[in-house]
Structure 1
Amino acid sequence: MDVDLFDFDLPPERIALRPAVPRDAARLLVLEGAGPKEGQGVMRDLHVADLPGVLRPGDCLVFNDTRVIPAQLEGRRGEARVGATLHKRIDLRRWQAFVRNAKRVRPGDRIDFGAGVIALAEARDEEGGYTLFFEGEEPVELLLDRAGTMPLPPYIAGKRAVDARDREDYQTMFAQKDGAVAAPTAALHFTPDLIARLEAAGVAVEKVTLHVGAGTFLPVKASDTKDHRMHAEWGSIDAAVADRLNAVRESGGRVIAVGTTSLRVLESAADAESARVRGWTGETRIFITPGYAFRVVDGLMTNFHLPRSTLFMLVSAMMGLERMQAAYAHAIAQGYRFYSYGDASLLLPGG
C-alpha cells in the first residue's frame, strides 16, 4: 500500500509532554463495531477510568511486562560529543545502539559516558549505528542506572529535557523484566485501583513480554508498505498464559491487547491453522497492515500514533483505514492528547 495513505496533519500542541494525573484520568476514545467510516459503528468519548463499565465479564486484558532501562547515554570520544541510544541486547555486555555524531567514531574507539562507564565501539552496522561493548565486570544494568537517562521519544525529548519524573512516569505498573528502550505506553494509564476494579468486574489480566526497541520510533522511509523492513524485537509468552487465553476465547470472552507490543506478541505466537495461542519465545518482525487477518486478538487498547507510522498502519488493519482517519480527525478536533504520554483509544471491531 502507498505509505502516503497513512499520513495526516497533527497540530504540535496535541503532542503530550507529560502524562495525565492520575494516570487513569486520561481520555479514552472507544470505537466499537465494524465499519470503515465515521457514522458506522459506535464512537464514544470516555476516560480510562471508565473501562470496568465498558468491558464485559470474561474479557481478558493482556499487558506487556517489559521494563524500560535508562538506555540513553551521552559521552565523549576524545573531544567529540557522542550520543547513544541502546536498542537491542546482543549478550551480557554488548548492545546494538543508534549513535549520534557517528562520523566521529571508528571501530575500536572507546566512548566515555561518565560515572565510570566506558564502552568500546566494535562493529558499525549498515544503518550507521554500532555494537557497543561495555567494559568492566559490573552488570550493564547497573552501569546504565548510573550513567543513563530514560530514552524518551524524540517528539518529547526534542521539546523538553528528560528529568527525574520520567524515571517513574515512563514506566508501567507491570514493569518487571529489564530490556525495553521504549515504554509499552498504553499500559501507562493503569493504576492498582483500576486493575482491582476491572478484576471485580470479571475482567482477567495476563502478561506477556516484548522488549520494545528504539526502532519503533523510526519513520517508514519506503513509499510502499511492502518495501518496509521492521526491526526485530524479542518477545515471549508462557505456555500456561497461552492456555488461559485460549480458554478465554473458548468461553466467549475477548482477548484485548493493551498496546501494540502485546498484540504483536500474541499474533506472533498464534498458530496459523488453529488460531490458538502457543507458548513462544523468539524474535518477531511481524508487520501488520490493512488486509491482515487477526488470529487471536479481539481488540486493542492503544495510544494515538504518528502519521505514516507502522503503528497507525496496525490500527488501520484492525478497524479500517477510513474509520481510523475519521477517528483521528475526531480526536484532534476534540483536543485529545497524542503519542506516548497522551490519551488512549479502545478498538473493538466485533463490538
Structure 2
Amino acid sequence: MLPTRALEYDLPTELIATAPATPRDSARLLVVSRSDPALRELTTVRQLPGLLQPGDAVVVNNSRVLRARLVGRKVPTGGRVEGLFLEEQAPGVWLTALRANSPLRPGLVVALTPPCPPASREASCVELTLLERRDRAWLVRAAPPHPAETLLEQAGRPPLPPYILSARKKAGLSLERDDDAQRYQTVYARAEAVDASLRSVAAPTAGLHFTPRLLDELDARGLARVETTLAVGPGTFLPVETDTLEEHPMHAERLRVGAAAQRRLAAIRKAGGRIVAVGTTTARALESIPPLTDPRASCSDIDTTTTLLIAPGHTWRNVDALLTNFHLPRSTLLAMVAALFPGGVEELLAHYRFAIERRLRFYSFGDAMLILP
C-alpha cells in the first residue's frame, strides 16, 4: 500500500498560477522520460510537435466545462451562498454542493447572482429552492424551468478550483476575470448538444495549452489527433484523506470512447506509433477500456462509468506518453502520474523539485510536463 504522506511536497505559494500563459502554448514545458531518469529538458508547449514522432496519436478529452460555480444570496436575508453544480438528476432538479456562513435548511430559496458582466444577454433571475440533504450535497429545484446548461450559462460562473481563487485573493487580485470562461475551456471542447452527463465541472487542464495553430502544426507533423470524452467530476478536487491511497473512495466519472477512435488507435499502435494522452482525464479514460491490442476491442462505442484508481504498480495498457500539468499534493492525480515512472512517487517528486527550482508554475493554470516513453 502507498502511504498518503508519500504524496506530499512543499510548494511556494507564489508558484500557484493565478492566470494562464498568454498565448496558451507559451506555457513552459518540462520534458522527461520514463526510461531515462536523467533526461530533463525545459522548453515550451509550442515545441510539442517536434518532441513527438510522425505516426504518434495525440488523444484529447473534448468534454466541455459547464459554468458550474454557483454564487447567490439567501432570500430574503441576503446571506451569501456559494457552491458547485454537480448534476441534473431530473428536469429542474439539481444535485449541488453548497456552503454558507449560517446553516442551510430545506425550503430555503437562493437567488443566484449572475457574473458581471452577465454571460448571456438573456440573463434572468435563477432561483434554487433547497429540497433535501444528500450526504454532503443538496438536492435543489431550479427555476425557471429550463435545462441546467441553459440556466448555468445565464447565472453560473467558471468553476475555477478553490486554490486559484485563494491565490488570487492572497495576491490582492480580483477573484474573477472577464476571460476566465474562455481560458478555462479547451479550444477543442465540443460545443454542440451532447448528452449533458458528459459535460464537466472542472477543466481537463493539460488541454488548456493548445491553440488552433498548435493543433495545425501537430497535423502537419503527421500526428493523429483522436478525441475521447470524460466528464471531469467534482471528485477531482478532493484530497486523499485516508492513511493509504488504496483506502481512498475513488470518485466515478462518465466516459465515452467511440468505436472509430478505438480502431484508429489500435491501428496506430500496430504500426508502431505511440499513444500520447493529453491530461490525466484522457489517460484515465484510455486505461478504463479494454487493451487496444485486444482483437475483440473497437467493435462498438464504449459509454460507461469508471472508478479506476491508477497508482504506482499499475500496468499501463493503452497509454505510452502523457502531457500533464503539475498536480496537488495528496491527490489521486499525483499518484496516477507517478505510476508512469519505474521509481514511482520518489522519481516523480524529484522532477517536481527540479520544476520548483526552475520556478515553473503549478496547478490548473500552470505549466506542463511531457512524460515520454
User: Would the TM-score normalized by the shorter structure come out above 0.5?
Assistant: yes
2:35 equivalent in structure 1: 34
Q: Give the drift of 1:236.
A: 0.7
1:122 equivalent in structure 2: 131
Q: Which residues in structure 2 correspond to 1:194-343 (within 5 Å)?
A: 194-271=214-291, 274=294, 278=298, 279-319=301-341, 320-343=344-367
Q: Distance in 2 between matches of 1:145 and 1:203?
A: 35
Superposed CA offset, 1:47-102 (max 9, x none): 10111111001101111111111111112333232212112343443332211128
Q: Distance in 1 between matches of 2:256 and 2:21?
A: 30
3-state SS in 1 of match to 2:227: strand
Q: Which residues in structure 2 correspond to 1:169-188 (within 5 Å)?
A: 169-176=183-190, 179-188=199-208
Q: Give the drift of 1:191.
A: 0.7
Q: Which residues in structure 2 correspond to 1:78-117 (within 5 Å)?
A: 78=75, 79=77, 80-101=79-100, 104-114=103-113, 115-117=124-126
3-state SS in 2 of match to 1:175: coil
Counterpart code for 1:230 = M
Q: Distance in 1 between matches of 2:337 and 2:90?
A: 33
Contact 1:149 1:162 in 2 (8 A): no
1:162 equivalent in structure 2: 176
3-state SS in 1 of match to 2:167: coil
Q: Distance in 2 between matches of 1:290 and 1:90?
A: 35
Contact 1:109 1:120 in 2 (8 A): yes
3-state SS in 2 of match to 1:252: coil
Q: For residues 247 and 230 of structure 1, do their structure 2 counterparts lie closer, same or farther at Cα, with a shift above 3 Å needed?
A: same
Contact 1:87 1:215 in 2 (8 A): no
TM-score by length of 1: 0.93
3-state SS in 2 of match to 1:281: strand
Moved more, 177-186 or 321-330: 177-186
3-state SS in 1 of match to 2:179: helix
Q: Which runs of 4+ in 1 moved over 6 A?
A: none
Counterpart code for 2:240 = V
Does structure 1 residue 151 correspond to structure 2 residue 185? Answer: no
Q: Distance in 1 between matches of 2:305 and 2:142?
A: 23
Q: Give the drift of 1:271.
A: 4.3
Q: For residues 61 and 48 of structure 1, do their structure 2 counterparts lie closer, same or farther at Cα, with a shift above 3 Å needed?
A: same
Q: For residues 276 and 102 of structure 1, do their structure 2 counterparts lie closer, same or farther at Cα, with a shift above 3 Å needed?
A: farther
Contact 2:292 2:318 in 1 (8 A): no
Does structure 1 residue 65 correspond to structure 2 residue 76? Answer: no
Moved more, 236-245 or 98-107: 98-107
Q: For residues 102 and 93 of structure 1, do their structure 2 counterparts lie closer, same or farther at Cα, with a shift above 3 Å needed?
A: farther
Q: Distance in 1 between matches of 2:162 and 2:371?
A: 26
Q: Give the drift of 1:230.
A: 1.6
Superposed CA offset, 1:192-228 (max 9, x none): 1111111111111011111111221111111111110
Q: Distance in 1 between matches of 2:238 and 2:56?
A: 33
What are structure 2's unaligned runs of at least 5 residues? 114-123, 169-174
Counterpart code for 1:23 = R
Q: Distance in 2 between matches of 1:271 and 1:121?
A: 44
Q: Distance in 2 between matches of 1:92 and 1:32?
A: 48
Q: Distance in 1 between matches of 2:316 and 2:88?
A: 29
Q: Give the drift of 1:275.
A: 8.9
Q: Give the drift of 1:33.
A: 3.4
Q: Give the drift of 1:46.
A: 1.3
Counterpart code for 1:109 = L
2:117 equivalent in structure 1: none
3-state SS in 1 of match to 2:67: coil
Contact 1:304 1:342 in 2 (8 A): yes
Q: Percent identity?
A: 42
Superposed CA offset, 1:83-129 (max 9, x none): 12112343443332211128622234332224421123233122x21
Counterpart code for 1:315 = V
Moved more, 85-94 or 283-292: 85-94
Q: For residues 72 and 277 of structure 1, do their structure 2 counterparts lie closer, same or farther at Cα, with a shift above 3 Å needed?
A: farther
Q: For residues 88 and 285 of structure 1, do their structure 2 counterparts lie closer, same or farther at Cα, with a shift above 3 Å needed?
A: farther
2:119 equivalent in structure 1: none
Q: Distance in 2 between matches of 1:221 and 1:275?
A: 40
Q: Distance in 2 between matches of 1:254 and 1:275?
A: 18
Contact 1:69 1:141 in 2 (8 A): yes
Counterpart code for 2:356 = I
Q: Distance in 2 between matches of 1:327 and 1:231?
A: 27
Q: Distance in 2 between matches of 1:83 and 1:27?
A: 33
Superposed CA offset, 1:327-349 (max 9, x none): 0000000011100110000112x
Counterpart code for 1:70 = R
Q: For residues 123 and 304 of structure 1, do their structure 2 counterparts lie closer, same or farther at Cα, with a shift above 3 Å needed?
A: same
Q: Give the drift of 1:316.
A: 0.4
Residue of structure 2 aligned with 1:133, choices 132, 141, 157: 141
